[in-house]
Amino acid sequence: MPEHRRTGEHVGYEEELQSEREYVADLYARLDAERARVKAAYQAALGGTGETVMERDNEVRARHREMKRLNVADYGLCFGRLDSVDGDVSYIGRIGLFDEFDDFEPVLLDWRAPAARPFYTATGANAEGMARRRQFLTRRRAVAAFTDEVFGRLGEEQGDVALLEALNAPRGEGMRDIVATIQAEQDAIIRLDHPGVLVIEGGPGTGKTVVALHRVAYLMYTQRERMERHGVLVVGPNPAFLNHIGRVLPSLGESDVVFSTAGSLLPGLNAVLEDTPDVARLKGSLKMLDVLTAAVADRQRLPERPIPITMKDVVVQIGPDVAEWARQEARDSGLPHNEARKVFREIITYVLTERALGRIGKGWLSRSDKQGWEDMRSGLVKELADDETFTGALDSLWPVVTPSELLGSLYSSPERLAAAGGDPLLRRADGEAWTVSDVPLLDELHDLLGRDGTVQAQDHALSEERRAEARYAAEVLDSMVGRQDHMDDEDHLFATDMLEAEDLAERFEEHDQRTLVERAQADRSWTYRHVVVDEAQELSEMDWRVLMRRCPGRSFTVVGDLAQRRSEAGARSWGEMLEPYVPGRWEYRSLTVNYRTPAEIMAVAARVLAEFAPDVQAPESVRSNGVQPWSRQVSESDLPAAIEEFVSAEAGFEGTSVVIGPPGVPGTVPASETKGLEYDSVLVVAPEQILALGPRGAAELYVALTRATQRLGVLHHGPLPAALSGLAEPVPLTS
């Protein structure tokens, strides 16, 4: 390392820039060499022989993860350096690199390492032992320029030039990571050591989503062993949002993450339709638990009249008294409905065979002939099992039901709905036309109903196969232990390592080759080590039950803004939703600085916020771009041409744009579909109609106005809403 890097000695800017370029180029050379080494090890693992299937698979997975970790760092590998007051210099980057020829000294610190924290938190007032922070401006693999903040020297702190450049840069198709420009208030949340639920609330543009994702990357770095076997679940409001944020964690080297909407939390189901507000409120309430429980109980029937069953020319009956006894025993078992059917069947079978035995054996079979009675009972039980009338009676009195069958028939049948105490508003013609609000109800029914007969049979077959493997492994283990006196040391160590027969059996199993993400997405019972919930203010009480089941450890990062809530079933306070699950185990943090929206646009949005949420403080914009938002009144017939004019004008700018309007207006997208997204330029159409959407119309307009990072325009038919009266009008769209 050149002498000035160790001492922080000042040299000329151009000479210093060239030196930094050489250092970063050397880092890339190390990265490429490490990539080649790991790739060779990966290919060797793929073709490895001699190890067990499990060991070889684990090696392949480990090498593959390492390859992905190294591949994310192709650009933006190193974004700055720290000089301490003691003369030590540390370079900060996307991943960590070490010098294998110098006792593995770090040549690049991972941004998540404790020693890298001052890069984000040191200030002139609290330098944390640092003398200087240097931030690199990079183009692909090269350092284009750098800026310095020298702590403790009046006038030499230049501010966060890198941050302002990032904020003013045109937006691409997806969210970018902020690893090079994390601010102190964000860093404090990212590194917060809290094992329970962390709520991050902030207004539009405060970076709460990207902070939550960087927090996940930090947790996966500091708690690697705990997190990597079960992964992380990220829940967002819609597929467009998930596509928007999907690059952030992979860009930080983390790929064991499942992305899902609330409508796709059940494997095989992807619900996108939304209920009306009133119906969504009903389905989201915990009162639906009583309705579902009653709907299940309604399937556990008593016969209206005795059902005759013929066994060996003797007719016995399933009467209401027998069915009621069997039903009570099955309910008292505590088993889910489908699994409790076995108890119901056993009681009915016992009563029918006892009655048949009493009639068949009377007068010719002695009660002392126990074997004779048992043989006859076995024959009767087998006869019942094959009897279609008996099976049909069981299906009518205690049917095996799937969640979709039960919920679909509940919605489509007024009689079933009334019997379960459901509100008539839940009625619909197509019971299985699933909406997003149905998903938590279906998930709840999975627990209330349990596994159906097909799944139980498959589980039984797998269990029998597993036991056979364990028996074989036990025989192998016994034979090895029996010859311990003749073993050499290596064999003895192998034998004593096999503490359980099932451990050895695993060595004979075909290992699951799917990735963690693939396995988690296909398994409703999969549990995660951590869950991120974005736009969490929209989730209902029933939604939270689903998520809590997915994370028994209750480790969550919850992101939202109560002022932006649009769902009638959503949160009105965080405590109301969280206290039932994590009493005293959740913490609240707020972000107050708007990094997205220029002050000129935020001033307009703040007036809308003040009308529907006067107690909420709008976030303060960190920048001003000098571009004033505009408005223009057009007739309904001129609207398509006006939208086309905006689109054509925006084609001359670099970046992204969107047209937001009320539902159903051609050429626009609803504000609800843009939540969490950002665009360089936004055109809001018919704000007066958005406000008229209902109680949450103002929140919809607030969302629409705060998507822009550079330019905002408004088209309206009627008078401009009072909150927008400050917009200049008219302004040519091409200006």
pLDDT at 183 over 70: yes
Q: Helix-strand-coil percent breakdown of the chain, rounded to 5?
A: 50, 15, 35
DSSP annotation of 721 reads: P
Question: Would you tell me the crossing angle of helices 453-482 and 489-497 to the nearest 10 degrees?
Answer: 150
pLDDT at 403 over 50: yes
How would you list the strands of the sheet with 78-84, edge to edge? 97-99, 105-110, 89-93, 78-84, 130-139, 142-150
Closest CA to 544 of 188, 289, 189, 277: 289
In DSSP terms, 149 is beta-bridged to 133, 157
Do the Cβ atoms of 233 and 531 come closer than 8 Å? yes
Residue 41 binned pLDDT confidence (cut-offs 50, 70, 90): confident
Instruction: Count Cα atoms within 13 angstroms, Cβ side, for 86.
Output: 4
Q: Which secondary-structure segment (H or E) carries 415?
A: helix 414-419
User: To the nearest 10°, the Cα dihedral for 66, 71, 76, 82?
Assistant: 20
- Give the pLDDT confidence score for residue 359 in this predicted structure: 80
Do the Cβ atoms of 684 and 660 come closer than 8 Å? yes
Pick 496 or 622 by higher pLDDT. Answer: 622
Closest CA to 399 of 412, 416, 378, 383: 416
> How far apart (Å, rounded) are the C-alpha atoms in residues 366 and 356?
15
pLDDT at 27 over 80: yes
Amino acid identity of 205?
G
> How far apart (Å, rounded) are the C-alpha atoms in residues 469 and 505?
6
Do the Cβ atoms of 436 and 535 come closer than 8 Å? no
What sign results for the dihedral spanned by CA atoms 614, 619, 620, 626?
Answer: negative
> How far apart (Å, rounded) are the C-alpha atoms in residues 442 and 432?
11
3-state secondary structure 493-517: HHHHHCCCHHHHHHHHCCCCCCCHH
Do the Cβ atoms of 339 and 326 come closer than 8 Å? no
Say if residue 73 is exposed, middle or buried (CB neighbours under 10 Å; 0-12, 13-18, 19+).
buried
The lowest-confidence range among 60-69, 275-284, 439-448 is 60-69
Do the Cβ atoms of 257 and 232 come closer than 8 Å? yes
> How far apart (Å, rounded) are the C-alpha atoms in residues 530 and 520?
13
Residue 11 binned pLDDT confidence (cut-offs 50, 70, 90): low
- Give the pLDDT confidence score for residue 641 in this predicted structure: 95
Closest CA to 301 of 284, 282, 315, 320: 320
Residue 154 binned pLDDT confidence (cut-offs 50, 70, 90): very low
Largest Cα separation within the chain, whole Å, is: 116
Three-state DSSP class for 624? coil
Which tokens hold the place of 566?
A: 């649009």
Three-state DSSP class for 169? coil
User: Which residues are annotated as part of the binding site for ATP?
Assistant: 202-209
Amino acid identity of 669?
V
In DSSP terms, 257 is beta-bridged to 232
In DSSP terms, 199 is beta-bridged to 558, 588
User: Which residues are annotated as part of the binding site?
Assistant: 202-209
Three-state DSSP class for 729? coil
Residue 4 binned pLDDT confidence (cut-offs 50, 70, 90): very low
Residue 604 binned pLDDT confidence (cut-offs 50, 70, 90): very high
For every residue of 209-253, DSSP letters joined together read HHHHHHHHHHHHHHTHHHHHTT-EEEEESSHHHHHHHTTHHHHTT
Pick 62 or 729 by higher pLDDT. Answer: 62
Mean pLDDT of all residues in 716-727: 88
- Give the pLDDT confidence score for residue 370 in this predicted structure: 72
pLDDT at 376 over 90: no
DSSP annotation of 111 reads: T
Cα 375 → chain centroid: 56
DSSP annotation of 107 reads: E
Mean pLDDT of all residues in 255-279: 94
Average pLDDT, the chain: 85
Q: Which residue has the tokens 């950002």?
A: 678
The lowest-confidence range among 134-148, 180-194, 463-477, 706-720 is 463-477
Q: How many CB atoms lie within 10 A of CB 528?
A: 23
Instruction: Count Cα atoms within 13 angstroms, Cβ side, for 72.
Output: 22
Q: Which secondary-structure segment (H or E) carries 387?
A: none
Q: How many CB atoms lie within 10 A of CB 467?
A: 13
pLDDT at 653 over 60: yes
- Give the pLDDT confidence score for residue 731 in this predicted structure: 47
pLDDT at 465 over 70: no
pLDDT at 648 over 60: yes
For every residue of 192-211, DSSP letters joined together read ---SSEEEEEE-TTS-HHHH
- Give the pLDDT confidence score for residue 363 in this predicted structure: 55
- CA angle at 90 for the pair 87 and 96, rounded to the nearest 5°: 160
pTM for this entry? 0.81
The beta strand positions in 348-479, using DSSP E, are none
Q: Which residue has the tokens 């080297």?
A: 253
The lowest-confidence range among 64-68, 516-520, 575-579 is 64-68
389: phi then psi, degrees, rounded to nearest 5: -65, -40
Do the Cβ atoms of 8 and 83 come closer than 8 Å? yes
